Amino acid sequence: MKLWQKGAAAHEKVDTFTVGKDREYDLVLAQYDCEASKAHAKMLGAIGLITPNEVKQLCNVLETLKTDAKNGSFTIEDEFEDMHSKIEYILTEELGDLGKKIHTARSRNDQVLVAMHLYLKQELTEIKTLVIALFDLLLELAEKHQNDLIPGYTHLQVAMPSSIGMWLSAYAESLVDDLYFWEAAFKIADQNPLGSAAGFGSAFPIDRELTTNLMAFKQLKVNAVAAQMSRGKLEKSTAMALSSIGSSLAKMSMDICLYMGQDFDFISFPSDLTTGSSIMPHKKNPDLFELVRGKCNTLQALPNQLALLTTNLPSGYHRELQLAKGPMIDAVQELKACLDILLFSLPQLRVTQNSTDQKKYDYLFSVDTLNAEVIAGKPFRDAYREIGEAIENGSYIPNRALNHTHLGSIGNLGLEVIRAKMKPLRE
């Protein structure tokens, strides 16, 4: 069944190519299509195109279908092109001609658009909850390990003293920036495009403010053409938010993989969070963090993928916009899985004590040794030259008595200030 079919069917080869994986992804979106259809039915009733009893009948069936879609029992067989055709078929089977009335004053174009808005609103909300949970966990661990020193690196060379607390709270604060991208994406998603129909509105006297309120959108996407043009922009803005979060998770996972290595040995995890080798019995590999790194690096390609997909498209609907659906749904699920595994594994972090006491980290303290000389009255450039000469001739003696006090340093992580930055984003 195809909602657009008027006579002869499309060739089977054309049908297979154009439908692609839509049925698979529509199983995810079907509950949101049902939710939007309920709002649409109530609006049709409010403007007198269907009766209150017909509204009730339609909404009862749609609510059952929505429940089926949420629990995974809704299916889309090969004879149906997409979720829209299957849902309308069931409505017609159960309600007769009334089921055929549901498509009045709308198009599949704005159906899938509003379903994607509703889906991304929900998923972005869930992602935000996971990001805030990770933020809280990182600050909890940072506070616990704020006195556990590790080397800081520039150019992968030992540079200056850092700490587990500084390292973890850095990623916590980075998540705050990521949620600024999230806010922009959510604002775009939180607009109702329903009623744009094929992209140019409708001759029916529809009430778009009513459907906006019924679906709990904050705003209406007013202009019908602008509503259609939001398809692609919605996905790109969300992709930027997912990519930003993914960037933080990938970088942190890379650090974890390094710090777990025997040459670093700053942290470790229980054996049941690592994997082994088929030939090397000693191996405890950080596979889960490597996969987070890989998945999140892939997420960072998503904005460019969507930008290229939608480049040079004029206003109005075009079929290739269908190709944005799959990457978005896959990306959302991948990011949620990465956040979930980090929330599961990071509480089991084990920190090696006194890592920087080793002689190989003596030079880590050269700047602190230099600064002590400057505080004692020596010009900085003279102290710098003398410490450099001492390192070259082997007479350098490190000063491990650290005294870092400024906000954001290892001695004053400012965890409460970082928490305060997240506070407005929790609302």
| pLDDT of res. 23 | 87
Instruction: Give the CA distances from residue 386 to residues 161, 369, 379, 399, in Å, rounded to whole numbers and listed in that order.
Output: 21, 11, 11, 15
Contacts of 203 (CB under 8 A, 6+ apart): none
Burial of 7 (0-12, 13-18, 19+ CB in 10 A): exposed
| pLDDT of res. 17 | 66
Distance CA 402, CA 379 (A): 20
Instruction: Give the CA distances from residue 237 to residues 80, 156, 182, 261, in Å, rounded to whole numbers and listed in that order.
Output: 31, 34, 8, 37
Say if residues 265 and 353 touch (Cβ distance below 8 Å): no
Question: Token pair for residue 398?
Answer: 């490190």
* Domain at 12-103, CATH from 1.10.287.1260, 1.10.275.10, 3.50.50.60, 2.40.50.140: 1.10.275.10
What is the rounded (10 degree) CA torsion for 343, 345, 348, 352?
-110
Rounded to 10 deg, the angle between the 224-260 and 108-144 helix axes is 30
Backbone dihedral angles phi then psi of residue 154, each to the nearest 5 degrees: -130, 140
Burial of 49 (0-12, 13-18, 19+ CB in 10 A): middle
The rounded average pLDDT for each run of 10 residues, N- to C-terminus, in the chain (427 residues) is 52 65 89 97 98 98 97 92 93 96 92 96 98 98 97 94 98 98 97 93 95 98 92 93 98 97 94 79 86 96 92 84 91 97 97 95 94 94 95 92 94 97 94
What is the rounded (10 degree) CA torsion for 17, 19, 23, 28?
110
Single-letter residue type at 76: I
What pTM, to 2 d.p., does this model score?
0.92
Containing 154, the helix (H) or strand (E) segment is: strand 149-154
> Domain extents for the chain?
12-103, 108-356
Distance CA 121, CA 328 (A): 13
| pLDDT of res. 283 | 75
Instruction: Give the CA distances from residue 207 to residues 18, 215, 299, 369, in Å, rounded to whole numbers and listed in that order.
Output: 33, 13, 38, 72
Say if residues 385 and 396 touch (Cβ distance below 8 Å): no
| pLDDT of res. 264 | 95
Containing 28, the helix (H) or strand (E) segment is: helix 22-46
For 108-356, CATH number?
1.20.200.10
| pLDDT of res. 214 | 98
